[in-house]
Structure 1
Amino acid sequence: QILKFDAYFQEDVPLSTEEHYRIRQVTIYYYLEDDSIYVIEPVVQNSGFPQGKYLKRHRVPKNDQGEHYHWKDLNRGINITMYGRTYRIVDCDPFTQVFLESQGIELNPPERMPFDPYTEMRKMPLRKYITPSDFDQLKQFLTYDKQVLRFYAMWDDTNNMFGENRPYIIHYFLADDTVEVREVHKQNDGRDPFPVLIRRQRLPKTFVDKKKTFPSCVLEISDQEVLEWYTAKDFAVGKSTTLLGRTFFIYDCDEFTRNFYRDKFGITDFQPVDIKKKLVEEVPQVIPPYNGFGILEDSLQNCFSLFPKPPRKDIIKMLENDHKVLRYQLALVSAFLDGIEPAYAEDNTAFFNSSSPVFGHRFVITDADEYVLNYMESNAESFPAATLQSLRDHFRRQQVVKETANSDIPALGTTKQEPDELIVQVQEELKPHKHLNNKNIQEAFLQCDKDGSGILDKEKFLAICNSLSVPTNSVLLNKLIDLCSCGEDKINYHDFLRAFPL
C-alpha cells in the first residue's frame, strides 16, 4: 500500500533576466510497509534540465534527534522539508484520502497546483510589429509541405506544320500555389532531354488592364499586375487550361490528387479521358517506270532504300531446278507497246495462243516441247488447271494431225493444203485491197481479247472483220477462217492475223 501526494518546490534562478524563480512539480510516494519515501519529478520535453527520480526510496530523517517522517506527518496544505528543500503538498489521491480519514486525521482542503511563470510566458505568442495578413502563408506551408497535385496532360500541336501530340505532367505545389510543367520523354524520341518546360512559379490567370508603355517583357510580374493567379480549383480532369499561352488538355491525375479534390471540394468525377493518337495516313509508294538500266529487280531496290542492296536469291529454288529448262516457241505479234511495264514471266501462267508483253513487245506462245508437259504434270499443284489443260489439248491436236497425215485421211474441217501456203494465197488475194490497214486490224483484235487467250467468239470475230472491211466472203478467207476454228463458234485469231503482217 502506497500513499501518493502531489507537491512542488520553488527554485531560484539568479542569473536570468527573463525569470527569477522556477516552479517544479513533483510526486511524493510513501510506502506503508517500511515507512520509506520516494520523490519523482515528471519528465517535461525540452525542459532544459535533468528530470525523473529526484529522491531515491528510503526512510527520510525528520530532524537531528534521529526521528524519521511518518505518514502522520503528511497532510494537504503543509510544507515538508527534506534535505534542506521545502516541498508544498497541495493534494493527494483518493486512496490516500480514505486511508488518512480512517486513521482519524483531519485533511486540509486541496490547493491548486501553481504553474511555472516562464513556461506560461513561452506559450504566449511573440509580439509582432507588422500587420498580420488575412491569409496565413506559414500555416499553409506547414500544412501542405511536400504535398503536390499531379495531372497528366497533352498539348495538341497537330494544326501546325510538323506538330504532334506531346505528353506533359503538371505539378501543382499546395505549399505555395506554384505550378511546374515537365516534359515526358521517351526513348529515342529525337528531342533534347530538357526535363522542365515551365519552371516552378506562380502562374497568372487574369491580368490587370495594363498600359501599352508597361515593359512586361523586361520586368517581373508582381501582384500589382495580376488580378488572379492559378489555384487548385482551375485544374480538373477532362478540361483544358492555358498556361503562358499554351493550352494543355488534362486527361488524368494520380490517386493523391483524387483524394485531395474529393475531401477539399467534394468532386467525385475523375473519369480519365481516352487519348487516341491520330492515325497517320500512309502514303502509297508509287513505283516509277523502268528506266532500262540493269535488271528489273536491281532497279526496284533503288525505290525501296537509299542504299540499295542486291536482291536475295532463292537458293533452294536454284538447287531444286538446276539444269531444268522449259522451252516454248513464240511468235512476235507487236514490235512496240506503249504504257506496259516490264515484268518477269512466270512459268505457271503460260497459255497457248495467249499473248504476253515482254519489254515493250508482245509475243504469242505457239508451241512447247514434251518436257514442259511432263514437268507440269509432275508438279500439277504448282500450276493452274487451265494452263495444264491447254498444254494437253495442244499435244493432243498435234497427235491427231500426225495420225491423220500418216493415214492420208483429211481431218475434220481441214484440207491437205498447208496453212502457210493458204496464208500466202490469201495475202496475194488481198493485195488489191489497199484500204486495209494491217496495224489497225491487229490492234482491234487485241483490244477485244480482254483475257489475252487468243480466242474470240465467231460472231464477234466476223463483226470485227466487217467493221474493218475485211472481205470475208472470199473463198480463201473462208478456208482460212475454217482452218483457225477451234471448237464450236470459237476462232483462234492469232493464226488468222498471220495473213496481215505489220
Structure 2
Amino acid sequence: MDLPFLPGNSFSDPTKTKYHVNQTLSYKNGYFVPKRPVRGIGGDPIAVNQLTEEELDQLANTKPSLTYGQASQPPPEDFIPAHVAFDKKVLLFDGFFKQTVHESSNEYYRVRPVKIYYYLEDDSISVVEPVQANSGIPQGKLIKRQRLPKNDLGDFWHWKDLNLGMSATFYGKTFQICKCDQFTQEFLESEGILVDEPQAIPKDPYLDSRQLPQYKHVTPSSFDKLKQFLTMDRKVLRFYCVWDDRDSMFGEMRSFIMHYFLVDDSIEIREVHEPNDGHDPFPVLLRRQKLPKDRNAVKGSFPSCVLELSKHEIHDWYSPSDFAIGTTLFINGRRFLIFDCDEFTKQFYRSVYNVTDFTPVTVRGRAAELPKRKLPPYNGFGSLEDSMQSCLSLVPQPPKKDFIRMLENDGKILRFAAVMDSPHPEDVNRKFIISYRLSDDMMQIYEPPQRNAGILGGKFLERTRVRKPGCPTDYPEFYTPADLAIGAKIEIFKHKFIITDADEYVLKWMEDNSEWIPEATLNTLRQRHGKQADTATE
C-alpha cells in the first residue's frame, strides 16, 4: 500500500541505482529512427498499456462490420522513405559518345562506349567508360556519382527523362542512350513509360583497324619454314674440320667443329682446345648465324657496320649440299677443310642425298708439337724448391710440405759428435755436435766453447739442408741418416767433419727403421756403443 507523499512518508529505495532517462531516438544506416520508450526514469515500468507489434498489425488490418453508424477509418500504413524503398536499386543504360580527332589524318572521330548508372535512392547519376586493354586513353569513371543539372533553371535529370534512342547532355558532352538491362526496362514499364526499341552501339573504326585479320595458312606442297621447324628442330649436322694457316707468320693448323642447324640453316664454328696449346680459351670462333657464300656480293650503299645481312641482300647461302668430306670452304677469309663427320650426319646424307662414301681425310699436322718446358739452371739463391716455384707460376707459391711426416717426426733429433778434418793445427782439437732433424731433413752444427782455446764457441751452422758434394745443382742429393755412420767423413759447405760418436737414441731409431738404413752404418753404431758398455762394466 502506498503512503501519501508527505514529509516523513518519503523513503528512498536502496536497490535503485539508475536514474537516467531512456533514449527515444536512435540512428540506423545514418538516419533517425524513433523508438517507443518502455521503461521510465530509473528503469521503472511505465504505467500505461503497451501494445506489441503483432497487436498493432491486428488492429490495423481488422475491419469490423458495424450494423449502425459510420465505419471507422483504418489506420494509415507505415511510411517507407525513398532511401529505404529504393536502396541498392540502380537503373543501367548503355550508350556512347563520339570524340573528334584532329591530330590524325587516318581517322576523324572515335566511338567511346559508356555505361550510365541512375541511382533511384537519391536520383544521382554516374557515367563510367569500360576499360579496354592497350587503348592509350585514360578510361574508367568519367562522371562521378552526383545529381546532374538538366538546364539553367535549376532542374536535374530524372529517370522520367531517360529513354532508349534519346540523347542526354551531361556537362556539355552528349551521350546517346542505346540499350538498358532487364531491371531498368521492367521498372520504367511499371511506371507507365513506354520503352523504345534498343539500338546497337556503332563500332569504333580505329579499334577495327587495329585488329589483325585471322591468320590463315595453307601448307604448300614444297618444303616451307613451318614444316622445317617442326621436323628439323634439335637436329644438328656436325663436321670436323681444320683451319690451315701455315702460310702466314706463326701460322699453324687448328682443329674446329662446325655445327649446321637444320631448323634454320644457321652455322656455328667452335674451336677444339688442347691442354697448353697457347690459345685463348674462347670456345666459339663464329657465333650461330646464316652464312652467305659471298659476303661481298652486296651493294656498296648497304650499311654493313650497323645492319646484318638478310635474304633481301644475299640470295646464295650455305646449305647441306655444300658440305662434304674433303671439301674446302672459305668462311670469312679462312680455309676450312672438312675431314670427318659424326654418325648422325652420315645417316642424314645417306637418306637425303644418297651419299655412301664417308672415308675420312687424313690430316697431318693438325696440332703443332709444343716444345717441352725446360727449367732454367739453379742459381744458388735460396732453396731449389723456392726457385722452381717462380718458374712454374707467375705468382710464386710456397712449396708444399709433407705435414704427415712433420707430425710423425716432430721433436725427433739425431745427435752426433764430430771433429773437424783440417790441415790447420788450430782446428785439431775443435769438437762439434751435429743435430739432424727428422721432420724436415735439416742439419745444425754447434761447437761447445772450450777454455783458452782461442776460438769462440756457439752456433757454427744454422739449420739448413746440406747437399752432398759433387752432385749436380739442378738435381741435388742431400745427406740422410744413412750417410751418418761412426767414422764417416762428410763435407758441409767446404768444411770436412769426421763423425766420432752418437747418442743411444740414434742407435735405437736406426734399428727401428733398419729397412732403409745400411747394415754398415748400424754396425758402426753397435760397435761404438758396445765398447762404451764394456768400458762401463770394467
- Whether the TM-score (by the shorter chain) exceeds 0.5 is no
Q: Please, what TM-score do these two structures have when normalized by structure 2?
A: 0.35
Normalized per residue, the structure richer in helix is: 1
- The structure whose RCO (Cα within 8 Å, separation 6+) is larger is 1
Q: Please, what TM-score do these two structures have when normalized by structure 1?
A: 0.37
